[in-house]
Amino acid sequence: MIWLGLLLPVAFYGRRVWLRSPRTPLPPEPIFQGILYQRIIETQPRPQVIHLFEIDLSEPTIQPFVTPSIENAPFIDENGQPRVTVAQRTASFLQRHNLQLAVNANFFYPFEEIAPWHYKPHEGDLSSVIGISISEGKQVSSMHPRYSSLCFLIQRAEIVWQQECPADTQQAVSGHPLWLGDSPPPDDMMFVADKLKSAKAYPLTLAALNAEGTRLWLLVSDGKQPLYSEGTTIKEAVDRLKTLGATTAVQLDGGGSTTAVIASDNGPQVLNAVIHAKIPGNERPVANNLGFYAQPVQP
């Protein structure tokens, strides 16, 4: 019984590790109409697994969708804090709304991660979203003065900072602003420059646009998993996005929230190696998700 008690956790953990995507690069390939997927493997300066989606927003069949608010939001809890959405895993979000692609979006609270059995939020808990969130033209949460907003209009998008989304915005999410210019950022964005200098490698979810706002890149980097993928620095991710042609970008929630899911014949398929409460393959419930409706690839 003692040996069994010791071996069961090892077997459980080992199975989770075994189910991760292989460290095998995949070239850009269409997974839905207007959506390309690529898996990038790096060995230097550390092991990295990066999942890159390129989305043609001018494709009429592609429609973004953001987590809607709860009824009669905001709900004020017993501590006087507003709650505007129901926390759910990104895979649950994709399945519930019949989406084809989804990633985690805004930072949120309350958040706590102490042990696999002690964390917040659980799926179904009411949560607060940090920064602007708009779903189907309805504002879910308010703009944050030091966050960038990714605003989806008709067949294009914009990333704005310190201002509201355009009036005809249909969907929106937000996160930390990133500077992609070759010149130094303006004085009021120097905190962004400090972030770019940070050498900390971490699981990341980034969104970036080209100058016309018609092409969206979603960069999802795995991390916190030695020998498999230890994470990506902000500067490494920004440099990669710039080489693709991105001119603006926003950092969405990362760490254990980092998740990318697609629809498959067998249900939601989590493409990246999620890790929550230090358990590989354990997906974290989050307050806000960004998804896309898309059509199958034509033969």
- In tens, the pLDDT along 161-196 reads 989 999 999 999 999 999 998 877 877 777 777 777
Average pLDDT, the chain: 92
3-state secondary structure of 8: helix
Q: CA distances (Å), 261 to each of 7, 32, 271, in order?
A: 31, 13, 6
Tens of pLDDT, residues 1-51:
776 665 555 444 454 565 788 999 999 999 999 999 999 999 999 999 999
Q: What is the pLDDT of residue 265?
A: 94
Burial of 208 (0-12, 13-18, 19+ CB in 10 A): buried
Express each pLDDT in 255-266 by its tens digit. 999 999 999 999
If you average pLDDT over residues 213-221, what whole number do you get?
98
**Cβ-Cβ contacts under 8 Å for 119 (sequence gap 6 or more):** 112, 113, 276, 277, 284
The rounded distance, in Å, linking the Cα atoms of 107 and 174 is: 8
Give the pLDDT score at 299: 78
Sheet strands (E) in 191-241: 204-209, 215-221
Q: What is the pLDDT of residue 12?
A: 40
User: What pLDDT sits at residue 245?
Assistant: 97
pLDDT in tens, 103-141: 999 999 999 999 889 999 999 999 999 999 999 999 999
pLDDT of residue 93: 98
Q: Is the pTM of this model over 0.75?
A: yes
pLDDT value at position 193? Answer: 72
% of the chain at pLDDT higher than 90: 79
pLDDT at residue 7, rounded to an integer: 59
Query: pLDDT class for 58, splitting at 50, 70, 90?
Result: very high
The band of 77, judged by pLDDT with boundaries at 50, 70 and 90, is confident
Question: What values do phi and psi take at 109, rounded to 5?
Answer: -150, 160
